[in-house]
Structures are given as C-alpha cells and as structure tokens.
Structure 1
Amino acid sequence: MDLLSLRYFQAVARHEHISKAADELRIAQPSLSRTIARLEADLGVPLFDRHGRRIRLNRFGAAFLRRVDRALVELDDARRELTDAAGLTHGSVSLASEALLTITEPVKSFIAEHPGVAVRLFQAAPEVMAGRLSEGQVDFCLASEVLDGPGLGREELVREEVLLAVPLGHRLAGRREVTMADLAGEPVVTTRPGYWQRSLAERLFSEAGLELVVACEIDEATAAIEMVSAGLGVGFLPAWYLRSPLAALRAPFSPVRLAAPGAERVLRLFWREGAYVSEAARRFRDHLTASLMAA
C-alpha cells in the first residue's frame, strides 16, 4: 500500500467509475484497475461491489475511504506547512469557483504582488466543489450557492443586485424597471439546475405564481448574454457585470432593473475548518476578500 494507490482509490470512490477516474488521473484504465485490485488484495477485502461494468463503494470501501480522506488531508496539510516554512516565494494556493470571470482582476493583481506564489484555479459546479474542498484538493471555494458538507467554514463577500437582461428591440428593452408579472410567459435563458441563476429564477417565478419557461439551458453562465442577445429569451445577471470590462466586448443587450424581493446574488468564500492555511493562502484569501468587497 502506497500513497499513489490511496489517491487512485480516492478518485475511483468519488466517481464510482473506473474510466472516469482514469480520465481524471490521466492514466490508462487497465493500470488503474490493477492498482485497485492490488489494494483490495493487500487489505484482504473487496472495496467495491461490481455489477458488470458498474462499481459501487461497499461498506468496507466506505469505511476505508473515511480513513483515507483524513490521512491524505493531513499529509497535504503537512506538505503545505513545510512549504510555508520555506518562505512565501515557494508557496501555493488553490481555489475552485463556479465562474472565473469574477476573480480575474483580483488574481491578476495578486500574482503581480506575489510572483513567487503558484496560483491554481479550477472551474467547477457547486456540487463538485464541496467534495474537492473536503478532500483537500483546494484551499478555498468561491460560490453563490451554499456548499453542503461537514466542517466547512464560510464568509459572505458580496451581496449584490441581480438585473434582467433582455434582447435589444424586446418589448421590455429600455424600461427602467420590471416586475415578475411582466415576465409571465417570457422564455428564459438560464443555467442548468445547481447554479445560482437557475435557483434564483425558479424561486422568483415560483413566488410570483408563474411558470418558468426555460428557452436555453447552459453550463457556462457567461454565455447567457450571447443567447439573450440572439433573442432566445431574457436572463438574469449580477450587477457587477455592467462594471466589468468584458461587458463592452459582449453582444449587446438591454439591462433592466428587476423589482422583486430577493433579486440578488450572494457570493461566499468556503474553507475547511481546522485545516492548515499557509501564509500564501492567507494572503490570497485576504487579497481576494478585499478586492471583491471593494468592487
């Protein structure tokens, strides 16, 4: 049993799928299968129930995974602590976020101030971020949805108004303000379930007693403006977008204030409580927090 086999087991347990885990680990599927088989032989018990090509973590595997997660997190924290002791010039920090455009400028200015710190960013859906954080794969997560999981701390960084984006020439274009009643029957461009835009749309339409008509469902929230501009429907966007330099580069649309209770986005930073936080990670957290709160 070695660390590499434990990390391979952790990936397979997370996906419960050999080929998906192999893709993530960038190794051949037969090699991964042999590693898991050797680990099971070493432990003397099967860790997965196998049904054809499908595998499921069994009770032995679930018990072993809990210990493996804790052990690998401790080892990763120890590595960070030693790197930290060697000085900030050798530090690193990792962050998962549902969208990277929000943090482009803060990351750019942090790297300029701390060129020796290695910054790693991952774009991930909210349901993936909590797992990465719990397993110690990232130091922080930035999300507009509340991440579920034991031992996760959080801090609210931004609470901002959400506007309605409508195509140019639309009946609502040019209005200073609209209500939810104005959106009755309007097709909506939004993300798939699990992202804040979809959660907000479902809640606002439900509270107004209206049916949400999804005209276009996307994974990349920034693509919503392109679809709105193309005339597929209306969409929701945070107020910061209008202040972003990217706004001038995107397809044209008409922003309209949405007069609806709770039409806002809350951006939060999440971390593992009790985990070691390196000097590089602390400085990055402070820089990111100050930048987003001042924006």
Structure 2
Amino acid sequence: MNLYHLRYFVTLAHLEHYTKAAENLSITQPSLSHAISLLESELGVSLFEKEGRNIVLTKYGKIFLRDVEKSLEILDSSVKSLKITGTGEGQIDLAFLRTLGTDFIPDMVHRFLKSNPDKSIDFKFHTGVTTDIIQGLKERKYDIAFCSKLEKEKGIEFIPVSKQDLVLIVPYSHPLATKDTIDLKETIPYPQIVFNQRSGLRYIIDDMFKKINQQPNIVHEVEEDQVVAGLVAKNFGIAVVPNMPMLKFTKVKVIQIVYPSWERNFYLAVIKDRYLPPAIKNFKNFVIKNAQL
C-alpha cells in the first residue's frame, strides 16, 4: 500500500468508472486496475463491486473511503503547512516576561512584520515567569523566548537583547519618598517585598544585598512585577524592581539606586543546536541585529 494507491482509490470511488478515473489521474486503466487489486489484496476485502457499466463502493469500501479521505486531508494540510514554514512564513510561538509586554515585544514584533510585508507570519503570545518560560522552551511549547538568564540551564542559548536599571520603589507616603537617589543600605530598616525564587530577578537582588553585607526585612515574596508594584503602592512594603514603563502609571515613587547600581539584562532564549524554521530564525536574527544594549 502506498500513497498513490490511496489517492487512486479516492478518485475511483468518486467517479465510479475505471476509464474516467484513469483519465483523471493521467494513468492507464490497467495500471489503475492493478493498483486497486493490490490494495484489495492487502486489505483482504473487496472495495468495489460492479453495478451495470459502473462500479460502486462495497460496505467496506465506504468505511475505508471515509477514513482515507480524513487521513489524506490531514496529511495534505500538514504538507502545505510545512511548505509555507519553509518559505519563511508560518506561526511563531513567542513567550516573554510581562514586563517586556509594554514596549519591547510589541515594538520588535511590529517592526519585524513591517519588514516582511509579503510574508504571512502569525505570532502567538505567551507570558510567564522565567522558570516556566524555560520549561516551555524545553517542552517545545514555545519557539523562542525573552526572559532572564538562568545559569543552570546549560542547554539554553541566552543572548542579551535588552536591559533595565534596577530601582527602588516606595509609596508616596513613605519616609524615603523625599529622595531621588539612595544607597541600598538605607532600605534595611524598612519592610521589603521581593521576587520569589521562581523569578530570575531574585538572584540578582540577593547579590545586591550581599554586596552591602545586609539582609532585607522580607515581608512578602511574589512572582510578578505588577504585583510587586501594586503591593508597594498600597504600603505593604518597599521593593527593588526593574525600571519598567508601567511604573509611570502606578502610584509609587521611583528612586535611583546609586550603590550598588545594577542593570537587569533581558535575554533572547532558544534551545541550543535546535533546528529553527526560517521564520523563527529570521525573527531571532532581526531581534539580535536591532537590540539596543
């Protein structure tokens, strides 16, 4: 049994006439008859029976036709999709940190699509924390990601593409709200909200406090940037966070940290040595070329 025989069978089933089917398929009638005989021999049942000058499907032929047409439709759709992918078109599953969703990701995707006006490229967006994003990459849920770097993930290629300063945010009613710059040591007396261990940012902030040989007074640990900012705005504590665009719309005072100053890098992440279809490879190269560090 081969794919040609299955397509011959479907054509014959619809035309119900060997001569017409052979002409439609651009093969000889004996070749068509031989192919159907081989198919019936392999299946062990008759697929057609004579009815006057024509032929019609048997009970088993009708069942087989339904399944074969369904299978060929799936196969043809998959082949078409892969051919489109091979031309630099298709779908890109992109995962990123929510903090990058305000500016960086929309800007990069918009510019990439604008630079490829004749290609049909469909982005599917996914957000999460770094650990979940990396796990999704490894499970092949995502094609490409933008997140923090996890040193332990040796099978992931991390390429720096963006950065943010780390700043202190406090509610406007806080004693530190009168300051525009601050030494991290000045934050020690106050309750602090920090990112939990699932966030790649947690390790960076921990290192900042190690530099000043101090431990923050941690009252809450959360995953998301927006949640941290929201809690600070409602006076649950102060926090060290990336200097995100969303802070302009949150009721917090942003204070520059003069020591130890730190920049948070964001990385493009893909599986090392994994084949990337043209559309994904082109987007990866576009981001690297246009990254502003």
How far apart are residue 127 of structure 1 and its match? 2.3
CA offsets per residue over residues 175-212 of structure 1, 9 Å max, x none? 23111210112111222212133223322223322222
* Aligned residues of 2:131 and 2:200 also touching (Cα < 8 A): no
C-alpha distance in structure 1 between counterparts of 2:170 and 2:213, whole Å: 21
Indicate the residue corresponding to 2:268 in structure 1. 269
Identity percentage over the alignment? 16
Q: Tell me which amino acid in the other structure corresponds to 1:274.
A: D
C-alpha distance in structure 2 between counterparts of 1:263 and 1:211, whole Å: 17
Indicate the residue corresponding to 2:207 in structure 1. 203
C-alpha spacing 1:279/1:201, structure 2 compared with 1 (3 Å):
same
The SS at the match of 1:283 is helix
* Aligned residues of 1:142 and 1:268 also touching (Cα < 8 A): yes
Is 1:106 the counterpart of 2:108? The answer is: yes
After the TM superposition, which residues 114-129 of structure 1 pair with which residues of structure 2 at under 5 Å, given as runs?
A: 114=116, 116-129=120-133
Indicate the residue corresponding to 1:171 in structure 2. 175
C-alpha spacing 1:292/1:234, structure 2 compared with 1 (3 Å):
farther
How far apart are residue 135 of structure 1 and its match? 3.1
The SS at the match of 2:273 is coil
How far apart are residue 82 of structure 1 and its match? 3.8
Is 1:153 the counterpart of 2:154? The answer is: no
CA offsets per residue over residues 159-183 of structure 1, 9 Å max, x none? 4321111111322113231112101
C-alpha distance in structure 2 between counterparts of 1:145 and 1:153, whole Å: 9
TM-score, scaled relative to structure 2: 0.62
Greater shift, 149-158 or 180-189, is seen at 149-158
Q: Tell me which amino acid in the other structure corresponds to 1:95.
A: L
The SS at the match of 1:136 is coil
Name stretches of at least 5 consecutive residues in structure 1 with no aligned partner.
1-77
Is 1:137 the counterpart of 2:141? The answer is: yes
C-alpha distance in structure 2 between counterparts of 1:150 and 1:201, whole Å: 22
Indicate the residue corresponding to 1:254 in structure 2. 253
* Aligned residues of 2:180 and 2:256 also touching (Cα < 8 A): yes
Q: Tell me which amino acid in the other structure corresponds to 2:213.
A: G
CA offsets per residue over residues 17-42 of structure 1, 9 Å max, x none? xxxxxxxxxxxxxxxxxxxxxxxxxx
How far apart are residue 105 of structure 1 and its match? 3.1
Question: How large is the RMSD of aligned CA atoms in angstroms?
Answer: 2.8
Please identify runs of 4+ aligned residues in structure 1 that moved more than 4 A. Answer: 78-81, 111-115
C-alpha distance in structure 2 between counterparts of 1:280 and 1:126, whole Å: 24
* Aligned residues of 2:211 and 2:260 also touching (Cα < 8 A): no
C-alpha spacing 1:80/1:128, structure 2 compared with 1 (3 Å):
farther
C-alpha distance in structure 2 between counterparts of 1:211 and 1:121, whole Å: 37
C-alpha distance in structure 2 between counterparts of 1:277 and 1:134, whole Å: 14
After the TM superposition, which residues 180-259 of structure 1 pair with which residues of structure 2 at under 5 Å, given as runs?
A: 180-239=184-243, 241=244, 244=245, 246-248=246-248, 250-259=249-258
How far apart are residue 235 of structure 1 and its match? 1.5
C-alpha distance in structure 2 between counterparts of 1:162 and 1:180, whole Å: 11
Is 1:94 the counterpart of 2:93? The answer is: yes
* Aligned residues of 1:174 and 1:256 also touching (Cα < 8 A): no
After the TM superposition, which residues 46-125 of structure 1 pair with which residues of structure 2 at under 5 Å, given as runs?
A: 82-85=83-86, 87-88=87-88, 90-99=89-98, 100-101=100-101, 102-111=104-113, 114=116, 116-125=120-129
The SS at the match of 2:175 is coil
* Aligned residues of 2:148 and 2:267 also touching (Cα < 8 A): yes
Bigger CA radius of gyration: 2
Q: Tell me which amino acid in the other structure corresponds to 2:107.
A: E
C-alpha distance in structure 2 between counterparts of 1:267 and 1:80, whole Å: 32
Q: Tell me which amino acid in the other structure corresponds to 1:255.
A: V
* Aligned residues of 2:229 and 2:247 also touching (Cα < 8 A): no
* Aligned residues of 1:153 and 1:270 also touching (Cα < 8 A): yes
How far apart are residue 247 of structure 1 and its match? 4.1
C-alpha spacing 1:148/1:96, structure 2 compared with 1 (3 Å):
farther
* Aligned residues of 1:158 and 1:268 also touching (Cα < 8 A): yes
C-alpha distance in structure 1 between counterparts of 2:105 and 2:232, whole Å: 23
